Every structure is written in structure tokens, then in C-alpha cells.
Homo-oligomer: A and B are copies of this chain.
Amino acid sequence: MQVQGFTAAATAAGIRYANRSDLGLIFSQVPAVAAGVFTTNRVKAAPVVLSMERLRSGKAQAILVNSGNANACTGAPGMEAARATSAMAAQVLGIDEALVQVASTGVIGQPLPREPFSKSVPGLAGSLSGSNLGDVARAIMTTDLVEKEAGATVNINGTPVNIYGMAKGSGMIRPDMATMLCFILTDAQIVFPVLDRLLREAVDESFNAITVDGDTSTNDMALVMANGMAGNAWIDEDNLEGIRIFGEALRGICRDLALKIVADGEGATKLVQIKVQGARTRAEAFDAAQTIANSALVKTAFFGEDANWGRIIAALGRSNCTFQEERVDIFFGDVLLVEQGLCLGTEAETRATAVLKQKQFGVTVELHEGSSEAVVYTCDFSFDYIKINASYRS
């Protein structure tokens, strides 16, 4: 997919490994309205600190992103490296340094080498093309097995508008602010406050509602750049139809990318939707869904294709959600396995187990306490998760 005015390029700069694409550049022909959400981890990587600071202007024109090194826990030299590499990009692109967003992903605590950047950034700038966005999506992969892209073209007040998103993420993923890298590019004309709000709403029900391993990264960010080149009627607070259509498309793209992250979770063999409904408040429903989705015992049972509802109710019990055991119903897919806190027996268990044999399924917990609900997406916990993470740095 292409988005008017956006070009990109990627290359193997040798940041950590040789011959592996690890550096990407995204450029907008004109400065774009930009909004972002960043990790809530108290430890923020240098590129996160720098990008947050720069994004206060609500404007950006380029993104320089690398994999292989997170430039996190690298102190003052890390900040200097982030600034210096962004300056290289600004110089070759001929734009203000403050308009360059930087992002890094990879190993924490290693100094970011500058040589790969000084060698490769000029070449990247020279090979920018509207058809290279997918190359950047591949360059930002770490333990990801597939690149993650999504796109939509919508009609805003009679004008076609393109929205494209890419994301990476496979480990250190949990629902607590944008837990990965995500870049969304659009040629829409949209004012900052609306773009910012729509991004936050979209992130809340997508990237903030997924978990792989319960760990929050130091480097997460989701960034949207809108360069206005579609020339549509401005999407501002008065353009309710524009807000609705653009917002829906943005939410769809974020959800699509988020599900791709969970499905590609480290070692994952199953994609599972955990829905808690009938809760007193959305916060309680979300806490319950998150606790179930993060339970190592629940996740290993999914891997074993075991409809172990006892672990689900035990996880529910240690969450901060109000409920009474004797009112709880639990469904695997459409199969009601637990009614009023009690298992319905062998036949229901056999049918529930059949649901778990699928690659993708849902578990619904009905509390009968109120009318609030929340959804969290998770994956199973497999041998490969251990394998990947016991040897990640070697």
C-alpha cells in the first residue's frame, strides 16, 4: 500500500547482526500533524524520551527506526546517540532535527553504535520510495516471525484518504500502553487534537488489550503521522462524519496490527480472546480479563488444549474484580462449560476441548454482576517461548 507523500527505505546496517535488515527511514514530503503514545514503564529508552519531547510540537516529518539495539538503559551516551543519529537523518533529508522521530527495539543496555548509522543513513535517504513501506516493516522485526502491516482507504466527505500501519512486537508485550512499535501513516488532513484523541482511543482497545508475557517494554511507542496530502475536508471537531469514518478505520488498523502481534507472540500456537462481561465496572472487567490472560497456568493449559476452567476461575479470584463464584458462567467458544460456578460435566468438557484445538478461539466469563465488559487478547505459553527467551541474547 502507498500513502500520498510518504516514502520509505530500509537496509542491513549491521547494528547487531550482519546481513539482516535493521534500519528504516520513513519520510513525509511535508511536515505532518503527529500524535503518539509511549511506554508507561518508568524506565524509558533514550529514543522514547527524545521522541516524546519532540512530539510536544504535534508535528513530525520523518521516523528513523532501528532493530537490534533498544538504546535503553544507556544513560547520557544513549541520549547523545539518539540525538546524533536523528541529526544524520535530518541533515540528509534537509529538515529540522526536531521533526525527526526516533525509535529503537532490540537488546537493552548495549551502547548504540553510531557507525552503522553514519554509513547507512545517506544511502537510505537516496533510496526513499513510496513502495518501500513493507521493507521498513521487515527491518523492525526482532523475534517476530512475520511482518505486520494493515491499511485502509476511506472516503472522507467525498475524498479518498489512505491510512497505513506497520507494527512489530512479539515479546515484552502486555496491555499497559502501546507495548510495541507501531507507525501509522495517513494522507488525511486532520487537526492535532482529533488525531491525538482518536489514536488514544484506538490504542486503548487494541495495543493496550493484548498480552504475550505480561512484561512492559522500555521502548514502546505508537505514532501516527497525517500529512494532509489527500486534500480532504479537514477532520476537525466539527466534522463529525469525518471523525467517525477516520476513527473507525484507525481503530480497525490498530486492532488488526495488535492481533497480528499476539498471533505472532513468542512461541505462540493459539490466539485467544478473553472476554469478561456482566462486571460492575469496565475497570474491574479489564482487570479480570488481564489477570486471566496473563496467568502462566491458564496459558500453559491453552497450549495443552486443556479446558482447565479451574485455573480460569482461580485467576479470576485473585484479580480485583467483584463477583460471586456461584453466579459465574464460563464459555469456551459457544460451549457453556461452567454454569453458576459449576462444571456441566464430561460431555460439555469434550465439546469445550474441541474448541481449544482450534488455532483461534474465545473464552467468555459472564459474572452476572452488572453490564460492563472488557476484552483482552492473549496467546498460549509453549516450549518455544522458553526456548526463545532462555537464549535471546546469545
Residues of A participating in the B interface, judged by any CB pair closer than 8 Å:
40-44, 70, 72-75, 107-110, 171-172, 176, 213-218, 294-297, 300-301, 303-304, 306, 308-311, 313-318, 323, 325-326, 338, 340-343, 381-383, 385-387, 389-394
Q: Considering only CB atoms, which chain B residue lies closest to A108 in the complex?
A: B310
Which listed residue (B296, B308, B316, B325) contacts A214, Cβ 8 A?
A: B296
CB atoms of A317 and B42 under 8 A apart? yes
Contact B314 A108 (CB under 8 A): yes
Contact B75 A342 (CB under 8 A): yes
Nearest to A342 among chain B residues (CB) is: B75
List B contacts of A217 (CB < 8 A): 314
Q: Which residues of B contact A323 (CB under 8 A)?
A: 42
Q: Which residues of B contact A387 (CB under 8 A)?
A: 383
Do B42 and A297 have beta carbons less than 8 Å apart?
A: no
Q: Is there contact, CB below 8 Å, between A297 and B386? A: no
- CB<8 Å pairs between A and B, sample of 10: A43-B316, A214-B296, A215-B314, A216-B318, A218-B310, A218-B313, A300-B390, A308-B392, A308-B393, A383-B383
A306 near B383 (CB under 8 angstroms)?
A: no
- Complex partner residue of A75 from B42, B74, B326, B383, CB under 8 angstroms: B326
Choose among B301, B338, B385 the residue that contacts A300 (Cβ–Cβ < 8 A).
B385
Contact in complex: A73, B341 (CB < 8 Å) = yes
CB distance from A366 to the nearest CB of B (A): 15
Q: How far is the CA of A75 from the CA of B341 in the complex (A)?
A: 7
For the complex, give the distance between the alpha carbons of A383 and B303 in Å.
Answer: 13
**Which of A171, A300, A385, A393 has the largest count of B CB atoms less than 10 A from its CB?**
A300
Chain B residues contacting A341 (CB-CB under 8 Å) are: 73, 75
A156 CB → nearest B CB, Å? 38
Smallest CB-CB A-B distances: 4 pairs: A108-B310, A304-B390, A43-B317, A300-B389
- The answer to whether A301 touches B390, judged by C-beta atoms less than 8 angstroms apart, is yes
Distance of A275 Cα from B163 Cα, bound (Å): 48
User: Contact between B214 and A295 (Cβ–Cβ < 8 Å)?
Assistant: yes
Given contacts A108-B310, A387-B383, is CB(A296)–CB(B213) below 8 Å? yes
Q: Using Cβ atoms and an 8 Å threshold, which residues of chain B touch A214? A: 294-296
